[in-house]
Amino acid sequence: MSVWAILVAAGRGERLGLEHPKAFAKLGEDPLLAEPLRRLEDSDWIDGIVVVAPAGWEEPAILLAEELGCGKANACVAGGATRTDSVRAGLAEVPATALVVLVHDAARPLLSDEVIGRVLAPLSEGWDGAVPGIPVSDTLKRVGPDGGIEETVARDSLYAVQTPQAFVADVFRRAVAGGAEATDCAGLVEAAGGRVKMVEGDPRLMKVTTADDLAKIASWL
Ligand code: CTP
Ligand code: MG
């Protein structure tokens, strides 16, 4: 089974509010991008990595991969306007021999080998894809435009979804080729009729959105 990872790092990081893109914010001593890149490189599950960098930041991303000795990082491409566009750009660099594609947000630096194993396992049981998630613990309300609560949404069977997300490569290629948009990759596969399984996520896969998130994740390193 040849597994290729697409590491999407092309976002601007507007909510983090730095002058440079979020992927190059400092997490400890290194740019944020270094942590997930190193972890994918060190994972025995992963055969190759495509890095999707912000436009104009391909060179620093390639240099970083070289500095870290990431021999699996075979390609680096510029991302697009939306996350889906960036995934599409990355997928174009994945070789036809790849049987499985695993997409991961660089903004979730604390990727573990256990989670990678958990999202890959269902693919050998006939699932088209698998994603990690955490059951929602807060009470959920649907709110109208005037701020009035319209309904309380039953939260049982609701999950907050993370990455890495793994897919059978052929199914994923077809889903992405459709030109659809979704906030995560599973959404594209679901829209194309694919069967995607939810597996146990990891609280440490928290996404860096704000400066506080960056500080919290740095304290977990
Ligand atoms: N991403 C991407 N290309 C985009 C938008 C997002 O590759 N056009 C990536 C980000 O780099 C990140 C992941 O998708 O690793 C999740 O996106 P998000 O956390 O929203 O990051 P940003 O879009 O960079 O942040 P913001 O929304 O605050 O601008
Ligand atoms: Mg964003």
Reported as a single tens digit per residue, the pLDDT across 37-67 is 999 999 999 999 999 999 999 999 999 999 9
Task: Check pocket membership of 12 for ligand 1, CB cut-off 6 A.
Answer: yes
Question: Ligand 1 test: best mutation among 35, 37, 52, 105, most atoms within 8 Å of CB?
Answer: 105
- What pLDDT sits at residue 51? 98
Note the pLDDT of residue 94: 98
Three-state secondary-structure class, residue 181? coil
Please state, in angstroms and rounded to a whole number, the distance separating the CA atoms of residues 30 and 88.
Answer: 27
Nearest one of 96, 81, 77, 69 to 7, comparing CA atoms = 77
Domain count, the chain: 1
CA–CA dist 177, 10 (Å, integer): 20
pLDDT of residue 117: 98
Enumerate residue ranges in the chain where pLDDT < 50.
none
- Per residue in 186-196, pLDDT tens? 999 999 999 99
CA 83 to ligand 2 centroid distance, Å: 7
Instruction: Tally helices (H) and strands (E) across the chain.
Output: 7, 12
Return the closest-CA partner of residue 181 out of 84, 52, 79, 80: 84
Which ligand lies nearest to the CA atom of residue 106 in the structure? 1
The best mutation among 6, 7, 8, 213 to test binding of ligand 1, ranked by most ligand atoms within 8 Å of the C-beta, falls on 8
Tell me how far the alpha carbon of residue 93 lies from the centroid of ligand 2, in angstroms. 22
pLDDT at 168: 98
The CATH number given to whatever domain includes residue 50 is 3.90.550.10
The closest-lying atom of ligand 1 relative to the alpha carbon of residue 23 is 11
- Residue 178 is predicted with a pLDDT of 76
Ligand 2 midpoint to CA 86 (Å): 11
What is the pLDDT at residue 179? Answer: 81
pLDDT at 180: 86
Residue whose token pair is 């435009």 = 145
Nearest ligand, CA 83: 1
**Domain extent at residue 145:** 3-220
- C-alpha to C-alpha distance for 188 and 174, rounded to whole angstroms: 9
**Residue 48 has what pLDDT?**
98
Beta carbons within 10 angstroms of residue 124's beta carbon: 9
